[in-house]
Amino acid sequence: MTDLRSVIKQITGLHMTRAEPLTGGCVGQVYRVHLSDGTQMVAKVDEQPEPCLHIEGFMLTYLKTHSRLPVPEVYYSAPDLLLMSWLPGQSHFSARAQAHAAELLADLHSVSAPAFGLEQDTLIGGLRQPNPWTQSWITFFREHRLAYMAEEALRAGQLSQSTWKRLARFWERLDEWLEEPERPSLIHGDVWTTNVLAVGDRITGFIDPAIYYGHPEIELAFTTLFGTFGDPFFRRYMEIRPLSPGFFEMRRDIYNLYPLLVHVRLFGAMYEQSIVSILRRFGF
C-alpha cells in the first residue's frame, strides 16, 4: 500500500501529526488527517486486492472542472490512496439549506453532453457503473442501469430469479412510462443524506459521487428514497427547472428501482420487497 505519511510529506511538505477515523463510505477506510501547520485533509485508504480509489478521484476532479458543484479538491489519486481537501459541515439541512442544494443541483443539471453515459465507467457504492455513450436515455437506463445491476445482484445470489424475471418484463416496456429529456445532464449520481454537507443554511459540499450524464429525474428521485430532501428542496428546484407532470406520481418509483437494486446487491434481500412493491404498482 502507498505510505500515507510519505505521500503527504511529498505533496505538502508537511508532516502528518495524527489521523482520526471517519464513518461512512463504501470503499476503504476514511481518515481526517491533521498536518503540522494545523491544516486538515481527508484520506481514503483501500487495501483490497483490486483497489479503485482513483475512480473516485477522477469523478471528483471531473465535477470540479466541469461544474460549479462544491466538491473536495483532489490532491493525490491512486488506486489505493485518495487525498482530498477537508470540507466542513454536517448532514442536517434546514429549509434554506435544502433550497441552496436545489440551486446547486439545478446548476449541475444544466451541464450537458452529446449523449448519455460518460467517457469511462464509474462507481456507485464501490460497484462498477457502466457508462457507454448512448443516444437514447430509455435505452441507457434499461440496459446499463436496471438490467446490468439486476444481473449483478442475481449473479451474487442477492436477488431472486422470480423478481429478476418480473423486472425483465417491466424494463422491456419502459417507454410506456418514461420520456426522453431535452438533453443529457451531468448528475452527481448518489445524493443521499451523508453525501451532502451543510453549515447553517448553506451547503458546503457534495462527496462520494457516482457521475454520468443522464436524466435529472433519476437524481431527484433518489433524494426522496431515504428522505435526503423534502418540500423546500423541490419547491426551489422546480422554480429553476420545472418537472413534467407525473414525476412524483409515477416516474419517481421507476427511477428508484436502480438505487434499490444497488442496495440489494450491496446489502442483500431486505430491499427486494421494495422492488416487488414498485413492480406490483405497474402490474408486474
DSSP 58-113: HHHHHHHHH-----PPEEEEETTEEEEE----BS---HHHHHHHHHHHHHHTT---
Cα(224)–Cα(222) distance, integer angstroms: 5
Q: Residue 3: pLDDT band by 50, 70, 90 thresholds?
A: confident
Q: Residue 49: pLDDT band by 50, 70, 90 thresholds?
A: confident
pLDDT at position 26 is 61
Q: Residue 27: pLDDT band by 50, 70, 90 thresholds?
A: low
CA angle 218, 46, 126 (to 5 degrees): 20
Q: Examine the pLDDT at 65 and tell me if it is beyond 70.
A: yes
The pTM score is 0.95
The position carrying cell 428521485 is 221
95 vs 24: which has the higher pLDDT: 95
pLDDT at position 25 is 58
**Residue-range domain boundaries for the chain:** 4-85, 95-281
Nearest to 83 by CA among 11, 17, 190: 11
| 137 CB-side CA count, 13 A | 21
- Fold assignment, 4-85: Phosphorylase Kinase; domain 1 (3.30.200)
Expressed in angstroms, the distance from the first to the final Cα of the chain is 48
For residue 9 the three cell numbers come to: 510529506
For residue 251, the one-letter residue type is R
Q: Examine the pLDDT at 93 and tell me if it is beyond 60.
A: yes
Cα(271)–Cα(275) distance, integer angstroms: 7
Q: Residue 2: pLDDT band by 50, 70, 90 thresholds?
A: low
Cα(236)–Cα(101) distance, integer angstroms: 9
pLDDT at position 154 is 97
pLDDT at position 167 is 98
Cα(101)–Cα(69) distance, integer angstroms: 10
Q: What is the mean pLDDT of the chain?
A: 95
Instruction: Give the 3-state secondary structure of residue 21.
Output: strand
Cα(151)–Cα(158) distance, integer angstroms: 10
Cα(212)–Cα(137) distance, integer angstroms: 12
pLDDT at position 23 is 74
Q: Does domain 95-281 have CATH number 3.40.50.720?
A: no
Encode pLDDT of 214-248 as tens digits: 999 999 999 999 999 999 999 999 999 999 999 99
Do the domains 4-85 and 95-281 sit in the same CATH topology, yes or no?
A: no
Encode pLDDT of 256-269 as tens digits: 999 999 999 999 88
For residue 57 the three cell numbers come to: 478521484
Q: Examine the pLDDT at 1 and tell me if it is beyond 60.
A: no
Nearest to 211 by CA among 110, 108, 135: 108
Residue 226 · residue 199 · CB < 8 Å: no
32 vs 48: which has the higher pLDDT: 32
Residue 209 · residue 63 · CB < 8 Å: yes
Encode pLDDT of 195-219 as tens digits: 999 999 999 999 999 999 999 999 9
Cα(161)–Cα(118) distance, integer angstroms: 31
Cα(124)–Cα(210) distance, integer angstroms: 5
Cα(157)–Cα(93) distance, integer angstroms: 37
Q: What is the mean pLDDT of residues 96-104?
A: 98
In 107-228, DSSP assigns E strands to 122-124, 127-129, 185-187, 196-199, 202-206, 212-214
Cα(80)–Cα(260) distance, integer angstroms: 28
pLDDT at position 132 is 98
For residue 128 the three cell numbers come to: 462498477
